[in-house]
């Protein structure tokens, strides 16, 4: 319950929000829920809650501040792709609680009706508490905005 409450607090931690919040799923590592809250036309905060895949199923919680370059690339000259990058943190609940810095880079496509998006993201994670090392998050997902 504390983890879900923390997930909600991350999304509501700013007092200046745009009117778009998205909730969805992410496939990859970690596998789970994805949320995004737009702060302006080109800035957003995202959060994820999921399970690591592999030999262990550790719970992972992350949040990032993202900068977007809108319609930076095109797929088939019809579908604009937004390039985004950012910085954030990750907490992983393994044998010990691991904390690390996350640096996501990705592409997102907003569907024509503006009510959903799909994304691909690569995020190196540098753990520095409880474990030192480098991890890699690879995500594909979709979110619905309300």
Tell me the pLDDT of the chain averaged across its residues: 87
7, 47 Cβ separation under 8 angstroms: yes
Structural domain boundaries, residue 85:
2-145
User: How many C-beta atoms surround the C-beta of residue 80 within 10 A?
Assistant: 14
Question: Given this model, what pLDDT does residue 31 score?
Answer: 94
Residue 74 confidence class, pLDDT cut points 50, 70, 90: confident
Question: Given this model, what pLDDT does residue 75 score?
Answer: 76
Beta bridge partners of 144: 23, 116
- How does pLDDT run across 82-96, given as a tens digit for each residue? 999 999 999 999 888
Total tally of structural domains belonging to the chain: 1
pTM of the predicted model, to two decimals? 0.83
Question: Given this model, what pLDDT does residue 16 score?
Answer: 43
> Domain containing 98 — which CATH number?
2.40.160.20
* Chain centroid offset of residue 12 CA: 15
């Amino acid at each position: 319950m504390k983890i879900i409450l923390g997930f909600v607090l991350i999304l509501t931690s700013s007092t200046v929000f745009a009117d778009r919040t998205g909730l969805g799923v992410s496939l990859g590592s970690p596998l789970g829920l994805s949320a995004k809250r737009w702060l302006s036309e080109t800035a957003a905060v995202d959060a994820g809650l999921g399970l690591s895949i592999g030999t262990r199923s550790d719970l992972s919680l992350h949040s990032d501040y993202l900068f977007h370059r809108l319609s930076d690339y095109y797929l088939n000259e019809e579908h604009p792709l937004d390039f985004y990058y950012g910085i954030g943190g990750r907490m992983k609940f393994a044998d010990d609680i691991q904390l690390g810095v996350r640096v996501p880079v990705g592409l997102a496509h907003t569907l024509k009706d503006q009510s959903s998006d799909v994304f691909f993201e690569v995020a190196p994670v540098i753990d520095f508490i409880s474990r030192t090392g480098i991890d890699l998050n690879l995500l594909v997902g979709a979110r619905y905005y309300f």
